[in-house]
Amino acid sequence: MDFSNIAAALKKREYDVSCFKTAKEAAAYLDHAIDGQTVGFGDSMTLLSLGL
């Protein structure tokens, strides 16, 4: 699925946007980005399906 239009619209509204080809790449990015931080999330099916 091509998310380039969605990413461009979010960037236009000054959101930081990162896109990944696989769930494994997204999980690795998040793991590095939050390393050493305390993070909580409740019942997020997206995060649970990524194995976070």
Q: How many domains does the chain have?
A: 1
Q: Tell me the pLDDT of the chain averaged across its residues.
A: 88
- Give the pLDDT band of residue 5 (cuts 50, 70, 90): very high
| pTM of this prediction exceeds 0.85 | no
- For 5-26, letters b (16+ CB in 10 Å) and e give eeeeeeeeeeeeeeeeeeeeeb
Tokens 């091509």 found at: 2
Phi and psi angles of residue 15, each rounded to the nearest 5 degrees, phi first: -85, 145
Percent of the chain, pLDDT > 90?
42
Q: Does residue 1 carry a pLDDT above 80?
A: no
pLDDT of 3 higher than 80: yes
Confidence of residue 47 (pLDDT cuts 50, 70, 90): confident
Question: Which range marks the domain in which residue 43 is found?
Answer: 4-49
